[in-house]
């Protein structure tokens, strides 16, 4: 199959899913027992006849539900997700403000988590049933079983409060000032501004939350890598590779791992969800001003436009991430190209 055909086919499967997400979001937003006007406007505007009427008109609330959905979809396509009740700002602007902090943290988390997970998964599979294997398997089981908030609190107590090795919660300390916003990622922005003190502070503050997130992810990745590599190690082509006289390192890394990584890549795509779960909980503990913190505040204060905006955005990203993973398959798995 040519890449173009594969791409078009995947796209055709993805578009209905994106549309479906807007339907689900619309349904949940309309399942609120409360009146949508009460749920979406700040209390002090409820008595203001003009604002209420404008709101009703903008979202087509006097029309039948099906028509309402299309009004909603139309507004959405123009990038209008409504206004957050709590901040009073357009939801999209809020998201743009909070998203970079989450991207910065989750990038550190997933890069560290993948490196640790794949490394320990390989070690554990190669030295199967050795003490190393048992230790890795036990640790990865702890990684998937420990509530991430417990890991975070333990990390803060030991490394910050007791040993004073790492700074506490927050993206920056009190003394540092935010670098001028270009990307919203403090590490990148402070580098662009050549502000190395801020850069050092931002990096140091990423270590602990990033590492906690990584521990949580690496448990899952190590387990999948181990079982996938074990399955591959038993294949005939592994024996062939050894029979050709390749050294063990080459056999395992080039013939073994490259085949074992296919399911690992799938899982990493699907793990985007776990990454967000982790981020929501970690951001709460580390006072990290990211999208998880925003979602948390929105959901505990019934800020509906914000909740639906974030859920939809996240579902969209999820679909897009998995679309990209599907495209990656094309390059990783030659069977798709030949099919």
Partner 1 sequence: MVLAGLLVVVFWLAMLLLAPLLAPYDPLAQNVRNRLQPPGALHSMGTDELGRDIFSRILHGTLVTLPAGLAVIAFGALIGIVVGALAGYYGGLLDDLLMRITELFMAFPTIILAMALAAALGPSIQNAVLALVIVWWPAYARIVRGLVLDVKHRDYVEAARSAGAGDFYILSRTILPNCLAPALILATLDVGNAILTFAGLSFLGLGSAPEVPEWGRMVSIAIDFFDQWWMWLYPGAVIASLVMAFNFIGDGLRDLLDPRLRGK
CA angle 31, 298, 189 (to 5 degrees): 135
Tokens of 112: 């560290």
Choice from 182, 277, 324, 327 touching partner 1 (CB under 8 A) = 277
Closest to partner 1 by CB, 45 vs 302, is 302
**Per CB under 8 A, does 311 bind partner 1?**
yes
**Per CB under 8 A, does 65 bind partner 1?**
no
Choice from 299, 328, 333, 336 touching partner 1 (CB under 8 A) = 299
- Nearest residue to 110 via CA among 217, 264, 224, 266: 217
Q: Which of residues 161-190 bind partner 1 (CB under 8 A)?
A: 161
**Per CB under 8 A, does 307 bind partner 1?**
yes
* Region from 29-37, 65-73, 114-122, 236-244 binding partner 1, contact rule CB under 8 A: 29-37
| Distance in Å, CB of 26 to partner 1, minimum | 12
Q: Which of residues 314-333 bind partner 1 (CB under 8 A)?
A: 314-315, 318-319
Closest to partner 1 by CB, 126 vs 199, is 126
**Per CB under 8 A, does 135 bind partner 1?**
no
* Region from 83-91, 101-109, 175-183, 268-276 binding partner 1, contact rule CB under 8 A: 268-276
Closest to partner 1 by CB, 277 vs 327, is 277
Q: Which of residues 218-237 bind partner 1 (CB under 8 A)?
A: 227, 230-231
Q: What SS3 state is found at 83?
A: strand
Whether residue 104 contacts residue 206, with contact meaning beta carbons closer than 8 Å, is answered with yes
Q: Which residues contact 190 (CB under 8 A, 6 or more apart)?
A: 179, 196, 198, 199, 202
**Per CB under 8 A, does 153 bind partner 1?**
yes
Q: Residue 129: enclosing H or E segment and its boundaries?
A: none
Choice from 284, 289, 325, 330 touching partner 1 (CB under 8 A) = 284
| Distance in Å, CB of 140 to partner 1, minimum | 10
Backbone angles phi, psi at 181, to 5 degrees: -75, 120
Query: What is the per-residue burial (b if ≥16 Cβ within 10 Å, else e) of 124-158?
Result: bbbeeeeeebeebbebbeebeeeebeebbeebbee
Whether residue 72 contacts residue 59, with contact meaning beta carbons closer than 8 Å, is answered with yes
Distance CA 140, CA 1 (A): 39
Q: Which residues contact 328 (CB under 8 A, 6 or more apart)?
A: 265
Q: Give the footprint of partner 1 on this chain (CB under 8 A).
A: 16-17, 20-21, 23-24, 28-29, 31-33, 128, 141-142, 144-150, 153-154, 156-157, 161, 227, 230-231, 272-274, 276-277, 280-281, 284-285, 295-296, 298-300, 302, 304, 307-308, 310-311, 314-315, 318-319
């Amino acid at each position: 199959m040519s890449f173009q055909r594969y791409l078009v086919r995947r796209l055709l499967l993805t578009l209905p899913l994106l549309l479906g997400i807007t339907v689900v979001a619309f349904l949940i937003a309309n399942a609120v027992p409360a009146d949508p006007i009460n749920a979406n406007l700040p209390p002090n505007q409820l008595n203001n006849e003009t604002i209420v009427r404008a709101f009703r008109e903008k979202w087509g609330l006097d029309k039948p539900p099906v028509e309402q959905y299309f009004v909603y979809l139309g507004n959405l396509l123009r990038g209008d997700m409504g206004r957050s009740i709590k901040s009073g700002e357009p939801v999209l602007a809020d998201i743009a403000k909070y998203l970079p902090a989450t991207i910065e943290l989750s990038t550190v988390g997933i890069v560290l988590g993948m490196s640790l997970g794949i490394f320990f998964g390989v070690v554990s599979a190669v030295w199967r049933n050795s003490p190393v294997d048992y230790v890795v398997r036990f640790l990865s089981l702890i990684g998937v079983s420990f509530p991430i908030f417990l890991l975070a609190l333990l990390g803060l107590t030991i490394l910050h409060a007791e040993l004073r090795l790492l700074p506490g919660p927050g993206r920056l300390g009190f003394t540092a000032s935010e670098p001028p916003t270009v990307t919203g990622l403090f590490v990148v922005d402070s580098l662009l501004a050549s502000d190395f003190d801020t850069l050092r502070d931002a990096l140091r503050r990423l270590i602990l939350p990033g590492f906690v997130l990584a521990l949580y992810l690496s448990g899952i990745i190590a387990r999948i890598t181990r079982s996938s590599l074990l399955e591959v190690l038993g294949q005939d082509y592994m024996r062939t590779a050894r029979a050709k006289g390749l050294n063990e390192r080459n056999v395992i890394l080039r013939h073994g791992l490259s085949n074992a990584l296919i399911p690992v890549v799938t899982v990493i795509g699907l793990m985007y969800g776990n990454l967000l779960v982790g981020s929501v909980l970690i951001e709460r503990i580390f006072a990290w001003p990211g999208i998880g913190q925003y979602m948390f505040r929105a959901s505990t204060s019934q800020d509906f436009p914000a909740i639906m905006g974030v859920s939809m955005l996240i579902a969209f990203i999820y679909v897009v991430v998995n679309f990209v993973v599907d495209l990656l398959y094309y390059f990783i798995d030659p069977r798709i190209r030949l099919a």
